[in-house]
Amino acid sequence: MSFILGFSFIVVLSIFTVLLMLVSRSLPQEAALMSIPFLILGDAILVSLWCFGLNEIVETQKLFKLGIAGAFCAASMGRAIYFLLFKIDKVVT
């Protein structure tokens, strides 16, 4: 149960990623990399809130942290694929 609770953090990461992608579309092309510091800072804030907020109801800390790590791996892979497919097209053309 602790692993599923940690891995459910992917829902929060997905919503944050979509919001950040919407913001990055409104930025000019020269400032496209400006969204990366916001991504790192937002991830750090969200994971600390998630980890400390759910710390009381988690049974096994190790599985909970493993679930959070799995959520980060899946979200990072999704982000990388998105930027590879859709952002490279803008740079090349």
- Angle between helices 9-26 and 61-82 in degrees, nearest 10: 30
Question: Containing domain of residue 54, as a range?
Answer: 2-92
- For 5-56, the pLDDT digits (tens) are 999 999 999 999 889 888 877 878 777 778 788 888 999 999 999 999 998 8
Query: Residue 81 — very low, low, confident or very high, per pLDDT cuts 50/70/90?
Result: confident
Please report, for residues 20, 40, 69, 76, the alpha-carbon distance to residue 64 in angstroms, rounded to integers and kept in the order given: 26, 21, 9, 18
In angstroms, the CA 60 to CA 63 distance is 6
pTM over 0.85: no
Q: Which amino acid does the sequence have at 74?
A: A
Q: How many domains does the chain have?
A: 1
SS3 56: coil
